[in-house]
Structure formats: C-alpha cells, structure tokens
Amino acid sequence: MRFSDLTQRIAGDGAAAWEIHYRALALQEQGKDILLLSVGDPDFDTPVPIVQAAIDSLLAGNTHYAEVRGKRALRESIAKRHRQRSGQQVDADQVVVLAGAQCALFSVAQCVLNPGDEVIVAEPMYVTYEAVFGARGAVVIPVPVRSENGFRVLPEDVAARITPRTRALALNSPHNPSGASLPRSTWQALAELCIAHDLWLISDEVYSELLFEGEHISPASLPGMAERTATLNSLSKSHAMTGWRVGWVVAPPSLAGHLENLALCMLYGSPDFIQDAAVVALETQLPELEAMRQAYRQRRDLVCECLADCPGVRALKPDGGMFVMVDIRETGLSAQAFADRLLDRHGVSVLAGEAFGPSAAGHIRLGLVLGTAPLRDACQRIARCANELMEILVDA
C-alpha cells in the first residue's frame, strides 16, 4: 500500500531524536539506575486546586462538547493574563484554545503558510519544528545561532535570508533548547523586518514564565505587530500540566477565525472539564508556581556550578527555561556519541545537540527535571564521563 508524501515530511531527524530517551526508558523498566534528563516534562505535580477543579467539573457532568474555539471563561482568562504580561490589548475573541502549544504551532502553520513558502527559524530549533512546517509543505530556512553568541538570533542574519518566498518568521523566547532570551532591541529590529517584508511572526512563548534574567518581550505588543503575530503559549511548563494538553493562540481576529475552522474539523474542541481546570490555573494565586520557578533557577545554578571546573565540558547558563546546554567538544566525541556513552556507561539520558540542528553540534541538552540530589548525581556522572574521555585524549 502507498502512503502520502506527508509521511516523509513528518519523519526524519526530529522523530529520531527521541530514540535515546526511549532506550533510557527501556533500561529504567529493566531496573537499571537511569537518570532521565532527556525530556522537558516537569517532575512537579500539577497544583492540587487545578486537579480538584477538574474533578469537580467531571462530577458536575461537564463531559459534553465544549465551544470549539474554547470556553469563553477560559478565553477571557487567557486574554487577561496575556494583557497583564505583554501589554498587548487583546480580548477573548482573539484567543483560540488548542491541545497544547504543539497543536497550536501546527494549526498556525496550516493557516498562514502555503506549500513552497519559506519560514525562517532560529537553528538550533525545537525538534518538531521542521516536521510541523514540513507537514504544510513549507520550507524551513534555518538561521544559525552560535553558542559563542549565547544562541541568540541576530537581526542581520535574518535579513540576509529573506527572499520573495519568505512568508513567516518563527521564534521562541526563551529559546528551546538553549534557554536564551531576546532583548527588546532585537525584537524591535525583527519587527521592522516583518513589517517591511509583510511577514507573519510566529512567537512561541511557552517558557516566558520561566525567565530568570532579563525582560520578557511579547513581540505582538510592538507597534505594527499585533496584526501579523500569532502568539503561542500553554500551561504545560508554567503549571506542570504537560499531560493536560492546554495551549492557545492569541491572534488577529481574522486568523483566529481560521484557527477555529481548523479546530472544528480537527479537534472539535478541548474537553470541557480540562478547560474548567485551566480557568482555575489562570485565575488562582498559586504559591506552587513561584516555587517551581525558583526551583528551576536553583537547578540551573546547580548544574552550572557542578560543571564549572570540569575538564572537557562547559555549561552555558541559560536566561530561562528548563534546560541547560553543555558544550562537550573538547572531549573529542560528537554529541550523539557522548550521549550514547553517557547513557550506556553512566546511566544518564540527555539529548544530543545535533537533534536540534548543526549549530548545536558538540553540545548536549539536559533537562532540569530532577530534584537537587539526583541532579547533582547526574552532573557528577557527566563529569566522570568527560574525565574518562579527556584521559583517553591525553594517553593518545
């Protein structure tokens, strides 16, 4: 039997990147001592008031179809939170609720891109980006961002890649995998490019509430950008709700209408009881949220401190997010070979930088998803792995 060309466009390196994580899970199931740092799934439980809200909604019988665009109460809560954090004046009619930011990204790509359109993306990029845009038949134009520049995109590099076929610019800040955030001056320069060349800006702001240094800028708030920006966000990281699949797009009214039509034929709306829980997540003062944010900051600092004097590796301190990139080029191994050795010999699972693009070659990404003691243990194992390799280089 034959399959569509789509099946080829959604496969490849992005899908293969998770193989080491699945291998680590299999080893863990066999009883091996494995520390999983390869996926960005918070180790925190969803705060109890949110869980209780879902239970109460279920018991109240809210298991029927909900509004396809998202319940108005939830969309109003999202709009209010977005106004407070960004300064952009939006209302509930500009919000579309979808099944996580991943679904939001896919939906926006379907609605603003045509086959053959070019979309400029900072590289290294999150592993699903290429497949998401490829599913639409669009062409990803990578903008390499180097670790020597803190993995921050430079507007002049973006400008050099704009062609008559360019339709959109897709960026996330804080960035995944590096945790780098973009300053206001960079966003202003990028906004000028979008306006001058009539481009869409797809702004992935999933890690915006896990920013430790600097100021989060939501580019839709800049002059002339509201009508050309799709802002993606979710509760997955900020509220430890990865499995709930609650995400959204804040968009110009016309795009919001198209996204609703797509949701109608794809999702037919998100579960009613989950949306009720999401309202509580957004409207309730939850001390757990700040505690989680501080925990991620402390874990980041711990990793950087533990690896500071380790020969062969260099931790790159991120501005935010829940990952740390570690430069392992001095060990002489590729990132994939290092990651394989680290898992097989030392029981630590990380992702190789090459999974995110060639600019991250020679780097590994580790997630800040373990408590202090196991995370320190993981760093010590990484150091031992690097020391072994450095000794081999010396002996050679």
Helix or strand run (H / E) with residue 201: strand 200-204
Average pLDDT value for residue range 328-341 = 95
What are the boundaries of each domain within the chain? 6-45+287-395, 50-283
Confidence class for position 329, pLDDT limits 50, 70, 90: very high
Give the architecture (CATH level 2) of 50-283.
3-Layer(aba) Sandwich (3.40)
Predicted confidence (pLDDT) per residue in 360-389, tens digit = 999 999 999 999 999 999 999 999 999 999
Confidence class for position 18, pLDDT limits 50, 70, 90: confident
Burial of 177 per CB tally in 10 Å (0-12, 13-18, 19+): buried
Confidence class for position 186, pLDDT limits 50, 70, 90: very high
Give the whole-angstrom CA distance, residue 376 versus residue 161: 42
Percent of the chain surpassing pLDDT 90? 88
Cβ atoms of residues 275 and 71 within 8 Å: yes
Burial of 315 per CB tally in 10 Å (0-12, 13-18, 19+): buried
What the block records as the tokens of 372 is 């202090």
Q: What is the DSSP letter of 321?
A: S
Residues 6+ apart with CB under 8 A from 253: 93, 94
Confidence class for position 99, pLDDT limits 50, 70, 90: very high
Render the burial of 34-44: b for 16+ CB within 10 Å, e for the rest: bbbbbebebbb
Per-residue pLDDT at 25 exceeds 70: yes
Mean pLDDT of the chain: 94
For every residue of 52-103, DSSP letters joined together read: HHHHHHHHTT--S---TT--HHHHHHHHHHHHHHH-----GGGEEEESHHHH
Give the architecture (CATH level 2) of 6-45+287-395.
Alpha-Beta Complex (3.90)
Confidence class for position 15, pLDDT limits 50, 70, 90: low
Q: What is the pLDDT of residue 394?
A: 72
Per-residue pLDDT at 14 exceeds 60: no
Which amino acid makes up residue 380? Q
Q: What is the pLDDT of residue 195?
A: 98
Confidence class for position 146, pLDDT limits 50, 70, 90: confident
User: Which of 1-5, 249-253, 261-265, 294-298 has the least mean pLDDT?
Assistant: 1-5
Q: Which of 313, 308, 304, 314 is nearest to 368 (CA)?
A: 304
What the block records as the tokens of 41 is 């799934």
Average pLDDT value for residue range 203-216 = 93
Per-residue pLDDT at 204 exceeds 90: yes
Place of tokens 């000794």: 391
Q: Which of 251, 278, 313, 236 is nearest to 73 (CA)?
A: 278
Q: CA of 162: how far to CAs of 124, 155, 261, in Å? A: 18, 11, 30
Q: Global pTM?
A: 0.93
- Own/partner contacts of 223-226, CB < 8 Å, gap of 24 or more, are 223/191, 224/191, 224/195, 225/191, 225/194, 225/195, 225/201, 226/88, 226/90, 226/252
